[in-house]
A and B are shown apart, each in its own frame.
Chain A
């Protein structure tokens, strides 16, 4: 049930952010400091999400090096080769699955 609240609450919140952008006078959100921070937030969050996904131990509160790091390396190579999103994601998954199989 808590999960449904999170799904719907965050979903509606994201819609409100969109409609706010289309409706609020430009001078409020157009503040240069706000604009600069808003530009940096996705980069900081995505970078943190990569780190946590790849390094955090499944049991929590520790860092661990396992098949996921190797899978991320494969993702980097695929991105450098300009592979499409789907190839990067599933190529990386296949690498992790293969390492765990061996």
Chain B
């Protein structure tokens, strides 16, 4: 099981390379890119902040998008809390590594001890690899010249698509994705950069409220 966790961690650590490169290409400094991986430590939110800034959005729009994407971690916490049964400082430490992968590797275990092992091994290994690979990616990205010549602006779209792809598991989710894309494309023409993505969050609220 520890080997499974390490496998997931190594695979995820390599995303960090792309985040580091994309971060500096979007106008964040090396220190800001690394600070995101250290403090925020939740991949999709970090990519979102960089993506919104890179496409000309304001810092506020970027931060709001990152926070909205971070709401899913609260639900992971809800699922993991009874399984992990942490109290006091352990709960505050565990919260920092509460992400997609650590939840996936911890939630399926039959006992508390195994759930803790899966969660902590995955979370801690990813944290170390994610931060190291962010630094490497940012250093490399900063030295490579114009991000557009390297196609790095297109890479951000590909990164979001790769994050979205495994989530499109039901017709409702696919319909939400399609509707959000149309709404965002429409909003691009009438709102400042960064806002279209926030408008699309409204699609999730609407679909969620109307479907039962």
Chain A residues with CB under 8 Å of chain B are 2-15, 17-24, 26, 29-30, 33, 35-56, 58, 60-63, 67-68, 71-72, 74-76, 79, 84-86, 88-98, 100
- Using CB atoms and an 8 Å cutoff, list the residues of chain B in contact with chain A: 11, 14-15, 17-18, 27-29, 32, 35-36, 38-42, 44-45, 47-49, 51-53, 55-56, 59-60, 62-78, 80-82, 84, 86, 91-92, 94-96, 98, 148-165, 167-168, 172-173, 176-181, 183-185, 188-193, 196-197, 199-201, 203-205, 207-209, 211
Q: Known: A76-B161, A86-B15. Is A40-B204 also a contact (CB below 8 A)? A: yes
Smallest beta-carbon distance B183→chain A, Å: 7
- Residues of chain A within 8 A (CB-CB) of B69 are 41-42, 45-46
Residue of B48, B68, B77 ringed by the most chain A CB atoms within 10 A: B77
Interface majority SS on A: helix, strand, loop or mixed?
helix
With contact pairs A17-B74, A35-B75, A40-B176 given, residues A49 and B32 touching in the complex (Cβ less than 8 Å): no
Tell me if B49 and A48 are in contact (CB < 8 A).
no
Asked if B78 and A21 make an inter-chain contact with CB atoms under 8 angstroms apart, the answer reads: yes
B157 A71 Cβ-Cβ under 8 A: yes
Q: Check B164 against A50 for contact (C-beta < 8 Å).
A: yes
With A21-B98, A58-B56 given, can you name 9 additional A-B contacts, CB distance below 8 Å? A6-B59, A22-B78, A24-B74, A43-B204, A46-B163, A52-B197, A61-B189, A71-B151, A90-B18
**Set B81, B181, B190: member contacting A21, Cβ < 8 A:** B81
Q: List 6 A-B contacts (CB under 8 A).
A: A7-B32, A8-B35, A44-B179, A44-B203, A49-B48, A56-B55
Contact A38 B94 (CB under 8 A): no
Q: Which residues of chain A have C-beta atoms less than 8 A from B77's C-beta?
A: 18-23
Q: List, in ascending order, chain B residues with CB within 8 A of A17's CB.
A: 67, 70-71, 73-74
Nearest chain B CB to A90 CB, angstrom units: 7
* Interface residue from B28, B60, B173, B184 paired with A51 (Cβ < 8 Å): B184
CB of A4, distance to nearest CB on chain B (Å): 7
